[in-house]
Amino acid sequence: MGNTYTKLEQEFLEYYKQIESYAEAIKLIAWDLRTKIPKKGVKRRSETLSLFSQKVHELTTSDQMKTYIDQLRDSSNPVIRRSVELVEKEYNQSKKIPVEEYKEYVELTSQAESVWTEAREKSDFELFRPYLEKIVAFNIRFAEYWGYKEDRYDALLDNFEPGVTVKTLDQVFPKLRDDLSKLIQKVNDSSDKPNPEPILTYFPKENQEQFALKVLENMGYDFEAGRLDETVHPFAINVNHDDVRVTTRYDENDFRMAVFGTVHEGGHALYEQGLDKDLYDTPVCSAISMGIHESQSLFWENFVGRNETFWDQYYNLFLEYAPDSFKDIPKAEFYRAINEVKPSFIRIEADEMTYPLHIMIRYELEKDLINEKIEVKDLPKLWNDKMEDYLGIRPENDADGVLQDIHWSGGDFGYFPSYALGYMYGAQIRSALDQSVNIDQSIRNDDLSPIKKWLNENIHQKGSMKEPLDLLKEVTGEGLNPDHLVNYLEDKYQKIYNW
C-alpha cells in the first residue's frame, strides 16, 4: 500500500537516502575486510572506509539535517515522526564528536580488526593491546561527550539497547546467574550424561556447507538477496535491503560450529529480509535494537535448530551429507550429544545453558573498563579469573580467552549485554509465538513458513517504530521476564540429563 508523504517529507527521505548510499558502501567494505581482503590491502581500505564514514558524519550533522528535524518533528505521519526522532538522536550524538576525531576513530577500528585477527592467530594479546587501549580511551571520551545520568556505561549501552541501563542489567543478570547456576549443578550431578565423542569426527567442510545451505533455504532465507561466505568470526550484514549476507566458520572435527552458527546468522538475516517494504529508505527501516536482533538469531539457533523435533525431521537429510560414521549414531544419542552442557572457552561454541554466563563476564569487564576501574593491560588475567569463577575453567592462552571476540576491535562497547538480553527476549517471544503457531508441528510438517510469517508480522515488519522493551511488551503482554528462559532450559534439560 505504501506511505504518502508531503513534498518536504519526500525531500527529507531523499536526503536520508544519500546517507544510506554511503552506509551501503561502508558495509560492503566492512564485509570485504572480514572475508576476502588480502592482508596488504587493509591499510588503504581502512583509509577509504574512514573517508566514507566521515561523509556520513557530515551529512548526519549538517545544517540541512537540522532544518529537516526542526520542520518535521511534529509531522502527522507516524513514520516520518519516528524517523525524525531517530535521526535527531543520531544528530545530537554525532554533533558532539569533532569530525577529525571521529575520522581518526574509524580508521583506528578498521585497522584494529586486522590486528585482532593476527593477534588471535598468534594468541598474543600484546599485539592488540595498544589498539584496544586507544579504542577504550575513545569510548570513554565519547560517553562523556554524550552524557549520562547514573553510569558512564549507559551512554554506550544506549547505542545498542535503547531504554536499558546498567541498573536494569544489574537487577536481571544476578538473578539469571543464580538460576542458571542451580540448573548447571543439576547437570553436573546427573549420572546420565550425553556422550559427544561419536559426533566429534571428521566432517568435510564442503558437506557441512551443503547441509547448512539446505537448512537456510528451508528457513526461508532468500538467496537471490544474499549469500553465504566463510570468515574468522561469523556475522550477518545488511548491505542493503536486497543484499543481506551471512557468514560462518567451519571446523571439520566439530560440525556444530558451522551448522548452528549458520542457523544463528540466518536468523539475523531473516530479520533484515523481513523488514516492511513500505518502510524502505526511511530511518525506521532497521532493526529496533541489537537485543531484539539477537532474539531472532537465538530463536532459530536454539528454539528451532536444537529442538528435538527439528532433528526428528532433519536427521535423515543430515545423514545424506555426513560421513558414513554418523550413520551408526542413533538419532536419540545424536540429539543428546548436540545438547551437551559443558563449560567451554569460546562464547560462540557455548551450550544453551552456559552461554549467558559468557556475556556477563564481558559485561562486567566492559563496564569496569569504561568506568576506569580496571586497565586494558590487566584484561587477560581478569578475563581468566572470571572464566574460572563463572564457568569453572581457565583459558591457557589469549586466543581462548580475551581475544576470542572481534567486537572490541570494532569499538562495540555496550554491545555484549544484547546477547543475553536477546536470549531472554527470544525465550519470551517463543512463549508468545507458541500460543499462535505450534512450533513443533510446523517443524514436523517440514514447513517452517508459519514460524517465519509470525516473526515477520510481529517483529520484523515493525522496524524501529518502537523501543525494544515496548515492542517486547506489545508482542508478549509483559515486560522483560527471564523466567521464560529458565523454564525453557529446565524443561528441556531435565529430560536430556534425566534428573
Q: Hey, what amino acid is at 395? A: P
CB 80 within 8 A of CB 69: no
Q: The cell 560462518 sits on which residue?
A: 248
The three three-digit cell numbers of residue 120, written as one number? 588471535
pLDDT at 180: 96
* pTM of model > 0.75: yes
pLDDT at 99: 85
Sequential DSSP letters for 304-316: ITT-HHHHHHHHH
Sort 165 into a burial class: Cβ within 10 Å, 0-12 / 13-18 / 19+.
middle
Sort 333 into a burial class: Cβ within 10 Å, 0-12 / 13-18 / 19+.
middle
pLDDT at 36: 85
pLDDT at 2: 66
DSSP label of 463:
T
Secondary structure (3-state) at 229: strand
Rounded to whole angstroms, how far apart are CA atoms 130 and 411? Answer: 14
Rounded to whole angstroms, how far apart are CA atoms 91 and 131? Answer: 27
Residues of the chain with CATH 1.10.1370.30: 166-497
CB 433 within 8 A of CB 455: yes
Active site residue 265: yes
Q: The cell 546420565 sits on which residue?
A: 192
Pick out the residues of the known binding site for Zn(2+): 264, 268, 294
Sequential DSSP letters for 37-83: --GGGHHHHHHHHHHHHHHHHHHHTSHHHHHHHHHHTT-SSHHHHHH
What CATH architecture is 166-497? Orthogonal Bundle (1.10)
Rounded to whole angstroms, how far apart are CA atoms 295 and 446? Answer: 23
CB 131 within 8 A of CB 409: yes
- Which candidate in 9, 107, 265, 366 is catalytic? 265
Rounded to whole angstroms, how far apart are CA atoms 271 and 43? Answer: 33
Strand 236-240 and strand 243-248: the pairing is: antiparallel
pLDDT at 233: 81
Rounded to whole angstroms, how far apart are CA atoms 438 and 450? Answer: 9
Residue spans of the chain under pLDDT 50: 1
CB 450 within 8 A of CB 442: yes
CA–chain centroid gap for 81, Å, is: 28
CB 11 within 8 A of CB 69: no
Helices (H), 99-165: 99-122, 125-146, 152-157
Q: Hey, what amino acid is at 432? A: A
Secondary structure (3-state) at 456: helix
The three three-digit cell numbers of residue 373, written as one number? 576501574
Per DSSP, which regions of 222-376 are E strands? 228-230, 236-240, 243-248
Pick out the residues of the known binding site: 264, 268, 294
Residue 349 makes CB contacts below 8 A (sequence gap 6+) with 254, 256, 257
Rounded to whole angstroms, how far apart are CA atoms 387 and 152? Answer: 25
